[in-house]
């Protein structure tokens, strides 16, 4: 199992539409920094590929979904019922399972971190307030916001199909507008965190994420406890706990456990590793300890989770 690369992503997407692989690739994208594409959700639904039981991997990419039908998103620590006209921001760090409740309508766009670098003023996507808040980036839109979002996606489709030489600059602007729409829905305190504390929280997130994805069963997660991370960051463990609690609303141990659970879910669904191999790679002494841990985050055993039907987003 490995992080989905661009070629593998389109090999997964091609069977979900009536288009061939070459047609799916945007014109001129090879000359751009990073990658971008936009899709109509109904096109995937019509081919019966985007229903429970089908896999939809896109872990290498960021994603903005404008969902206009009812569904459910299951994160590692929370389940959210999605009503029509909801905007969902997905990152490679925060995976979730998606369960459609009815025929799906909406739009989604995929973009890489590199694609947005020219318009972020030296920041990375993960440093934006939208992706550092304690809550999940899932927003129920007002009628005015939904109309505006629908227009932005319509512009994306129109511009992507055009032969305008600078169309990808416009597409970056459209993505940035959606990112700002999400950030405007956050409390003001989230948008202006204390610099040093925010930097420590960001360094912790980077250090945690750097351990993943696990690509071979011989790999092992080196940092698993709050003290492991505190030592690596050269701070006292109590200070690290205080900063992360203030910035995320969760303890250091909970954040580490959540990320381990997320990786466990990916390995269970997208690899053929045995439960013993997964447990060992994630640092558990045996399958029993791994199963006990996993039940706290998924409410079912690893074996039961592996056989459940769900769509991975």
Tell me the per-residue pLDDT of 68-108, one tens digit each, with 9 for 90 and over.
Answer: 999 988 877 778 889 999 999 988 877 777 888 888 899 99
Question: Is the pLDDT score of 49 beyond 70?
Answer: no
Smallest CA-to-CA distance from 127 within 98, 79, 91 is with 91
Check if 6-191 and 195-307 are the same fold.
no
CB of 88 within 8 A of CB of 82? yes
Half-sphere exposure of 311 (CA within 13 A, CB side): 18
- The pLDDT tens digits of the residues spanning 5-46 come to 455 565 555 555 544 545 556 665 555 567 899 999 887 766
Q: Residue 161: CB partners within 8 Å, gap ≥ 6?
A: none
Confidence at residue 186, expressed as pLDDT on a 0 to 100 scale? 73
Neighbours of 67 (CB within 10 A): 24
Q: CATH number of 6-191: 3.40.50.300, 2.60.120.280, 3.40.630.10, 1.10.10.10?
A: 2.60.120.280
Residues 6+ apart with CB under 8 A from 93: 126, 131, 205, 209, 259
Mean pLDDT estimate for the chain: 81
Instruction: Check residue 234 and give its pLDDT.
Output: 84
Could you tell me if 200 and 233 are in contact, meaning their C-beta atoms sit under 8 angstroms apart? yes
Model confidence pLDDT, tens digit, residues 130-176: 887 667 889 999 999 999 999 999 999 999 999 998 899 999 999 99
How far is the CA of 96 from the CAs of 6, 137, 193, 235, in angstroms? Answer: 20, 12, 27, 31
Mind giving me the DSSP string for 85-106? SEEEEEBTTB--EEEE-SS--E
Q: How far apart are the first and last CA of the chain?
A: 16
Residue 292 scores a pLDDT above 90: yes
Count the Cβ atoms, other than its own, within 10 Å of residue 181: 19
pLDDT at 8: 59
Going from N- to C-terminal start, the domains of the chain cover 6-191, 195-307
Torsion of CA 280, 285, 286, 292, to 10 degrees: -110
For 195-307, CATH gives 1.10.10.60
Instruction: For strands 36-40 and 311-312, give the pairing.
Output: unpaired
* Residue showing tokens 């001129």: 28
Note whether 132 and 202 are within 8 A (CB).
yes
Angle, CA of 15, 17 and 21, to the nearest 5°: 65
Give, to the nearest 10 degrees, the angle between helix 226-233 and helix 252-270.
Answer: 110
Task: State the Cα–Cα distance between residues 286 and 306, nearest whole angstrom.
Answer: 18
């Amino acid at each position: 199992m490995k992080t989905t690369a661009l070629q593998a992503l389109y090999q997964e997407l091609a069977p979900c539409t009536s288009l061939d692989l070459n047609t799916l690739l945007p014109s001129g994208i090879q000359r751009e920094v990073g990658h971008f594409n936009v899709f109509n959700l109904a096109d995937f639904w019509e081919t019966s590929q985007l229903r429970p039981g089908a896999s939809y991997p896109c872990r290498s990419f960021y994603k903005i979904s404008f969902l206009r039908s009812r569904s459910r998103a299951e994160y590692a620590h929370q389940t959210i019922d999605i009503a029509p006209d909801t905007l969902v921001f997905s990152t490679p760090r925060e995976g979730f399972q998606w369960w459609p409740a009815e025929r799906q309508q909406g739009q989604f766009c995929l973009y890489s971190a590199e694609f947005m670098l020219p318009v972020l003023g030296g920041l990375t996507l993960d440093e934006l307030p939208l992706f550092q808040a304690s809550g999940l980036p899932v927003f129920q839109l007002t009628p005015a916001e939904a109309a505006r979002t629908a227009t932005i996606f319509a512009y994306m489709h129109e511009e992507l199909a055009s032969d305008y030489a600078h169309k990808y600059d416009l597409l970056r602007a459209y993505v940035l507008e959606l990112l700002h729409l999400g950030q405007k829905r956050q409390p003001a305190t989230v948008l202006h965190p204390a610099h040093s504390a925010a930097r420590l929280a960001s360094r912790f997130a980077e250090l945690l994420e750097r351990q993943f994805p696990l690509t071979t069963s011989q790999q092992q997660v080196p940092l698993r406890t709050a003290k492991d991370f505190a030592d690596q960051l050269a701070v006292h463990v109590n200070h690290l706990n205080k900063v992360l609690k203030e910035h995320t609303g969760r303890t250091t141990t909970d954040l580490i456990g959540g990320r381990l659970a997320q990786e466990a879910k990916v390995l269970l669904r997208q690899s053929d590793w045995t439960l013993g191999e997964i447990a060992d790679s994630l640092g558990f002494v045996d399958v029993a300890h791994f199963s006990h841990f996993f039940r706290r985050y998924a409410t079912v055993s690893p074996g039961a989770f592996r056989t459940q039907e769900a769509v991975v987003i």
